[in-house]
Amino acid sequence: MNKKVLVCGGAGYIGSHTARLLTKRGYEPVIMDNLTTGHKDALPPGSTFYQVDCRERHLVRQILEYEKIDTIFHFAACSIVAESTENPRKYFTNNLNGTLALLEAMLTTATKKIVFSSSAAVYGNPEEIPIPDSQALEPINPYGESKMFIEKVLERYATAYGIKAVSLRYFNACGAWPDGSQGEDHHPETHLIPLVLKTALKQRDKIQIYGEDYPTRDGTPIRDYIHITDLAEAHLLAREYMESFSAPKHYNLGNGAGFSVKEVVQAAAAVTGCSIPFEISPRRPGDPAILVADAQSASAELGWKPELTTMEEMIESAWEWHKRHPHGFTG
């Protein structure tokens, strides 16, 4: 098996953790990132790096040929849901054009396999919980729509042009490399767990809880949190799966367990031993009440089994990262 792979968006949170796992397992990841949100310090030491945007189709084509890339892992995207509603153009032009350019490069080179970062955002407000990956796609924001359109393009290209494609629908990625050497560092940070831990570190006075009037056990939204190393593992399994199967596929990646916002805050207080003041604020537009995955297909077909599944384990690794790098990669 040719173990040379291209990690687009490999300097970002999920991409860099996957690149590190790929290196650990004997793959040779070539990293491509435009560094608008990614961090060069997040790259596995010694890895080949190109500061290139996916939309630079001719450069991508040259990289695929020169590096003799077997598979593309495509993480590069704009991914802030609220921003996507305010600026849909940014989401459609970046996410769609980036993927189309990668596919154009693939059509004219020997690289025919792609693992795509999709999202639970493709479901919108789900009809059924836990959400089976056969459920209808009804995204409620441009971010989720961009992911849905790309999944459809991949299915069409797989059928028409022999591209092999697996779309992985992430639920809420969290945590860090277990020794705390690598973790989550977004600017601006919008995600719950990093914001809660920054509050524990006293970098913030309090955490805002967006809504306490949802139809859930304590009134706050429930999410399916999935540890970053378990998420990374699924990409390697998807890559292996494409050795023997060619039909386009999509899989939910979640634990099948939901934690409310208040439960996350309580768990973080217990793990860190710090007080985490919070304040109830109005709902954040576009937040569904409950998103919990049915990840049976990933388990049955990819052999995927998440290992760090308790909220304590997820917060412990994230806390290790935040304590050691209170200002992220620049600190």
Helix, strand, coil: what percent of the chain each, to 5? Answer: 40, 20, 40
Q: Dihedral of the CA atoms 47, 52, 54, 56 (nearest 10)?
A: -140
Strand ranges (DSSP E) for the chain? 4-8, 28-32, 48-50, 71-74, 113-119, 164-170, 172-174, 207-210, 222-223, 225-227, 249-253, 259-260, 278-281, 290-291
Min dist CB 261 to ligand UFG, Å, is: 5
- CA-to-CA dists, residue 52 to 59, 102, 112, 213, angstroms: 7, 12, 20, 45
Q: Is 27 a catalytic residue?
A: no
- CA-to-CA dists, residue 218 to 145, 173, 264, angstroms: 30, 22, 12
70 vs 184, beta carbon nearer ligand UFG: 184
Residues that bind ligand UFG (CB under 6 A): 79, 81, 119-121, 143, 171-172, 190-192, 195, 207-210, 221, 223, 261, 284, 287, 291
Min dist CB 221 to ligand UFG, Å, is: 3
60 vs 192, beta carbon nearer ligand UFG: 192
Whole-number CA gyration radius for the chain: 19
Token digits for 330? 């620049």
149 vs 210, beta carbon nearer ligand UFG: 210
80 vs 107, beta carbon nearer ligand UFG: 80
Given the residues 27, 50, 143, 170, select the one marked as catalytic: 143
Backbone φ and ψ of 48, nearest 5°? -75, 130
CB 72 within 8 A of CB 122: no
Min dist CB 245 to ligand UFG, Å, is: 26
- For strands 207-210 and 164-170, give the pairing: unpaired
Min dist CB 122 to ligand UFG, Å, is: 9
81 vs 197, beta carbon nearer ligand UFG: 81
Min dist CB 208 to ligand UFG, Å, is: 5
The residues that are catalytic are 143
